[in-house]
Amino acid sequence: MMERAEQIRAGLAEVEERIAAACAAAGRERDDVNLIVVTKTHPASDVSLLAAAGVTDVGENRHPEAGRKRAEVPEDLRWHFVGGLQTNKAAAVAGYADMVHSVDRARLVDALARGARSAEKKLACLVQVDFALDNPGRSGIAPAGVLELAELIASNDHLEIAGVMTVAPLGADPTPAFERLYEISQELQAVHPDARVISAGMSEDLEQAIASGATHVRIGRSILGQRA
């Protein structure tokens, strides 16, 4: 266990250094970028070790794994749901997530709102944008649909439009997608000034995401190691 704690601290220190360097290179304040550690497939004990090391935000991509882990981890953390979401699981996820990054269709909005209403909370939502639409099966909505979906979220009493999210297209230079996400975010903020979250950047591309204005990076492997 001690050994795992040390691994996690070392991974965190390395990623912290990368984030700080990327902020400095981009002329941004370190505080402008929030680290979400993606803990999917790793045990609840890892989440507790992260909390002990000062992590405040964790991300999960699957229901019910995410809900089970949240129930098992006593520490006070913000839980982000970052994975593609089936409509029939959305209400349950809305019950335990603090922010859902993967809202990409109207039916999901209704289902999340139902869950948030039962939980008597207002749920923060990001619209997930997909820039690789020739790749069916991926999560995300086309750029042209973002503002309309954001409006639907904003008009619901139980949901809050907090910003936008993307996963860079696989095997391509991520920067064009991150730059377009930033532009879309500016358009969204012109209508909803509080919708400032730009969730972009994973282990492989956090530097490019920060250079393009990301406010939240979602890092798994660089901190926790390869997933089984």
Compare residues 175 and 203 and give the one whose CB is closer to ligand PLP.
203
102 Cβ neighbours under 8 A, 6+ residues apart: 81, 82, 83, 84, 85, 126, 128, 139, 140, 165
Instruction: Choose which of 12, 35, 38, 153 interacts with ligand PLP (CB under 6 A).
Output: 38
* 99 is a site residue for ligand PLP (CB under 6 A): no
* 7 is a site residue for ligand PLP (CB under 6 A): no
Stretch that binds ligand PLP, among 20-28, 44-52, 150-158, 213-221 (CB under 6 A): 213-221
Compare residues 13 and 191 and give the one whose CB is closer to ligand PLP.
13
* 4 is a site residue for ligand PLP (CB under 6 A): no
Beta strand segments in the chain, E: 34-38, 57-60, 78-81, 99-103, 123-129, 159-166, 197-199, 216-219
- Residues 159-188 close enough to bind ligand PLP by CB under 6 A: 167
Residue 67 token pair: 């809900």
Q: Please report how close the Cβ of residue 81 comes to ligand PLP at its closest, in angstroms.
A: 9
Q: Please report how close the Cβ of residue 20 comes to ligand PLP at its closest, in angstroms.
A: 18
Q: Please choose, from the candidates 173, 197, 176, 175, the residue with its C-alpha nearest in 3D space to the C-alpha of residue 185.
A: 197
138 Cβ neighbours under 8 A, 6+ residues apart: 84, 130, 132, 167
* 149 is a site residue for ligand PLP (CB under 6 A): no
Q: Give whole-number Cα distances, 168 to 33, 41, 116, 176, 202, in Å.
A: 18, 21, 29, 9, 9
Instruction: Choose which of 82, 152, 159, 168 interacts with ligand PLP (CB under 6 A).
Output: 82
Instruction: Choose which of 91, 127, 202, 211 interacts with ligand PLP (CB under 6 A).
Output: 202
Which residue type does 196 have?
A: R
Please give the angle made by the CA atoms of 33, 183 and 208, to the nearest 5 degrees: 45
Instruction: Choose which of 90, 94, 146, 219 interacts with ligand PLP (CB under 6 A).
Output: 219
* 61 is a site residue for ligand PLP (CB under 6 A): yes
Residues of this chain that bind ligand PLP (CB under 6 A) = 38, 40, 61, 82-83, 167, 202-203, 218-222
